[in-house]
A = this chain, B = another copy of it.
């Protein structure tokens, strides 16, 4: 048997064990699942020493291999990060249970009583980069939502992940739940490919990471995928914007964390407001260290802005760079966003309610904002308590995905002997 074949067989076998574990998990009570997360937090604390040793080994190998500093940084669990990770488990444990909710109930004229009930997804696959905190975070969210999880992280974190998953499994067993509800998928790229092809065994696959990873999963997967991530988000400053509010929102949307998907990448300014407002916005952004790439009309008002090219309108910089375009009012702004937006988060700043409502209605995006920063598109900020990612597709879940968004439903129908005529 070839290596590829044997990796595939192993992953399918893991997925089959995950499915069996998911069955056990689906009949566990909320209290049992809570106890399991408690016991996982304890198991992680008990294993802190061995986890740190494994993490040091991963870090040393990464430095030796010359990995870029930001990647090495993400790999680390030093200092407070370990404790923050374990506290995250306890926070998820304390969230309201998402399962069993009767979403709707009705009775048919023939007497059939139909209930639409929230139930676990089953087996969730998560493919991510070399970030060991995602291992624990994704696993406990899936367990809280009653699903088994197959984790496939970046190989640079393999040692750390092995130690973390061993602790997670011990925690499950200590709580009387099957260890196979959490499994780590090895086998490098072939392992990822096998996971993406495990039709009938994996109910949904969630990629978490950069644009390249997500594109690869969307292209290759034959199991259902929730696409997450890419955000070319816009702030449109309307002619009727309050100047102070516009400045605060634009600076916050760009600068409060430029590396994340809900940060603004393009500023659109209504031509009616640009002469008075754009120089002020530009100065505030420069003050915050932002490089501007502007259209011709922008550069007339802000001569120090670099010239923007067509590529800039589609760019997700994830950096202190902002594309700036002067547009002829709301229609031109809507047109620009429809063309270049990635349907993540879009904001209008205006004191004109009619224009605001038109923007909210006509923009096709997971989250549309009136007089608020795009940076609020986040499970925590929405009040979901936690998030496994931000969906940029329209199927199943859109925007921040909390516990409910990784469940499904079934119809429970109670009859008295009804047959169909």
Residue from A204, A372, A412 having most chain B Cβ neighbours under 10 A: A372
Which of B224, B248, B414 sits near A393, CB closer than 8 Å?
A: B224
Question: CB distance A394 to B122 under 8 Å?
Answer: yes
Q: CB of A72 within 8 A of chain B? A: no
* Complex contacts, A225 vs chain B, CB 8 Å: 224
The distance in angstroms between the C-alpha atoms of A408 and B396, with both chains bound, is 8
The distance in angstroms between the C-alpha atoms of A90 and B170, with both chains bound, is 60
- Among A73-81, A160-168, A363-371, which stretch is in contact with chain B? A363-371
Q: Mark A216-245, 1 if CB is under 8 A from B, else 0.
A: 001100101111000000000000001011
The residues in A between 332 and 391 inclusive whose CB is less than 8 angstroms from any CB of B are 338, 356, 360-362, 364-373, 375-377, 381-383
Q: CB of A23 within 8 A of chain B? A: yes
Given contacts A252-B419, A373-B420, A395-B395, contact A122 B245 (CB under 8 A): no
The distance in angstroms between the C-alpha atoms of A394 and B381, with both chains bound, is 27
* Complex contacts, A227 vs chain B, CB 8 Å: 224
Q: CB of A6 within 8 A of chain B? A: no
The distance in angstroms between the C-alpha atoms of A27 and B362, with both chains bound, is 7
The residues in A between 386 and 419 inclusive whose CB is less than 8 angstroms from any CB of B are 393-396, 398-399, 408-419
Q: Please, which residue of chain B has its CB at the minimum distance from the CB of A225?
A: B224
Q: CB of A114 within 8 A of chain B? A: yes
> Does more than half of chain A's interface fall in helix, strand or loop, or is it mixed?
mixed
The distance in angstroms between the C-alpha atoms of A195 and B225, with both chains bound, is 18
Question: CB distance B393 to A410 under 8 Å?
Answer: no
Question: CB distance B376 to A413 under 8 Å?
Answer: yes
* Complex contacts, A108 vs chain B, CB 8 Å: 381-383
Further contacts, 8 of them, CB under 8 A, given A224-B227, A373-B418: A226-B395, A252-B419, A360-B414, A365-B410, A368-B410, A370-B414, A371-B415, A399-B410
Interface residues of A (CB under 8 A from B): 23, 26-27, 106, 108, 112, 114, 119, 121-122, 199, 203-204, 218-219, 222, 224-227, 242, 244-245, 248-249, 251-253, 256, 338, 356, 360-362, 364-373, 375-377, 381-383, 393-396, 398-399, 408-421
24 chain-A/chain-B pairs, Cβ below 8 angstroms: A26-B362, A114-B382, A203-B393, A204-B394, A224-B224, A224-B393, A224-B394, A245-B417, A249-B417, A252-B420, A256-B420, A360-B414, A364-B410, A366-B411, A367-B411, A367-B413, A368-B412, A370-B413, A372-B415, A372-B418, A375-B420, A395-B408, A398-B411, A399-B410
